[in-house]
Structure 1
């Protein structure tokens, strides 16, 4: 039986989501979010610690919040490789919003993700189409790690990216065998390759009773 692929979302970052900001200010807020690590009170759940201790491979993105999450779940027992392939899908500030409209970062995030999903990507920003292509490469990497290691592989990454990975793995015949925490911080999904069901051998046809 092949090992599992487990994708985990990072812990809660040390940022304030209660502020009211403009769309342009959201761009700066998101840039700071990408540079921020976890809040001081964050501790990984025992379920993720157990998964990490049993995994043959643990990987993470190059974002501080993912790096600190990976370090926390392995408890300094190993060095976790980092790769920009696993960074979150971008959230460019939405266009066409006047500065008198102020919303929380969470609300702007939903609006921004919708615009981005529909094709909006300013210069220098990864488009939804390019992100989908990258996620296929992520799935390729995770499957290859499982096949080469023969054991479980844990990826500490990001909420929306993990959701995109989920869709690709399901299409490729991987089955979701565990899902804890929804899409909240420290949540995870575990997948195992579906075993092919052998078809019954065709029964031999009865010899014809009629003489030729």
Structure 2
């Protein structure tokens, strides 16, 4: 029987958001964010630990915060392969003048909007290319799910993109926890599962 696909967002990274910076400085801040691990005292919710324990496969992004999240979710009890295909969609800072200073969270929203609208400097993955990467990710996850539940420890926006693609492929999000915050997760059931459950219930 085909397993479920579970996507989880990493825990809170060890980098303060309580600063006001320029767009240029946000580029440096985001680079440090990618290099940082989890903040001291971070711990996964027990329901995620249970999902990891029951998953046939657990994989992660190659960024430190995702690797540490996978290690905590599995309690270090298994090898967790990491692959750069699962890293977050890029957030190139928008072309704002230096007199504009905002907190990183606000720059993140503006950067994502500009990127979706086509802002991708040389060497930065475009929105269109990211969707092509997501299509490959979905195929990877669906292949893993042929052998049982698969848990991916990755990133907020990328997980949202993966979810959209899986739903187009007929998968259904049946459970979720934590919204889109740190340590949040979603479970996707394979196509036809809901219909099979209804048919079984009707036959009883």
Pick the TM interval, shorter chain.
over 0.9
Q: How far apart are 1:100 and its partner, in Å?
A: 1.1
Distance 1:107 1:51 in 2: 32
Alignment of 1:40-59 (within 5 A): 40-59=40-59
Q: CA deviation at 1:68?
A: 0.3
- Normalising by structure 1, we get a TM-score of 0.90
Bigger Rg over Cα = 1
Q: Within the alignment, does 1:159 sit opposite 2:131 as a pair? A: no
What is the Cα deviation at residue 16 of structure 1? 0.7
Shift of 1:194: 2.5
Equivalent in the alignment of 1:3: 3
Query: 1: distance between equivalents of 2:106 and 2:41?
Result: 24
SS at match of 2:175: strand
Q: Distance in 2 between matches of 1:30 and 1:194?
A: 37
Deviations 1:79-100 (CA, angstroms, capped at 9, x unpaired): 10000000000000101x1111
TM-score by length of 2: 0.94
Tell me, in whole angstroms, the C-alpha distance in 2 between the residues paired with 1:117 and 1:91: 10
Q: What 5-or-longer segments of structure 2 have no aligned partner? A: 197-204
Partner of 1:129: 128
Shift of 1:2: 1.8
Structure 1 segments (4+ residues) deviating >6 Å: none
Deviations 1:32-78 (A, max 9, x none): 10000000110000000000000000000000000000000001110
Q: Which residue of structure 1 aligns with residue 202 of structure 2?
A: none
The RMSD of aligned alpha carbons is 1.1
